[in-house]
């Protein structure tokens, strides 16, 4: 985990701290969060489940992401066909 003093965490949480970029980067990585949430909190990143999907797959390699994309497209296609079949 991170090796920072609890006083630094307390200061950051209470908006009294001004951590170095290296420290902030370590915190963001350890929490597996999007740095835009810190620097641009007003930005809309999608629904909670969309953010969860993005966060889960954000560290995939390009080949892994391509494979997941193909699998997701196939699953969505199958689900949509079944939904259409039950509506009729």
Residue ranges covered by each domain of the chain: 1-43
CB burial readout 48-87, b (16+ within 10 A) else e: eeeeeeeeeeeeeeeeeeeeeeeeeeeeeeeeeeeeeeee
Give the integer Cα–Cα distance in Å for 29 and 58: 12
Tell me the pTM.
0.44
CA torsion sign for 61, 62, 68, 72 is positive
pLDDT of 1: 55
**pLDDT by 10-residue block (mean), the chain, 88 residues:** 70 80 85 81 80 84 93 92 68
pLDDT of 85: 65
| Secondary structure class of 45 (helix, strand, coil) | coil
2 contacts 30 by C-beta, under 8 angstroms: yes
């Amino acid at each position: 985990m991170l090796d920072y003093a609890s006083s630094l965490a307390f200061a950051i949480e209470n908006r009294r701290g001004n951590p170095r970029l290296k420290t902030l980067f370590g915190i963001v990585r350890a929490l597996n969060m999007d740095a835009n949430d810190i620097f641009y909190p007003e930005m809309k990143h999608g629904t909670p489940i969309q953010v969860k999907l993005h966060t889960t797959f954000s560290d995939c390699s390009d080949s892994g992401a391509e494979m997941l994309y193909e699998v997701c497209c196939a699953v969505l296609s199958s689900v949509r066909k079944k939904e259409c079949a039950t509506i009729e």
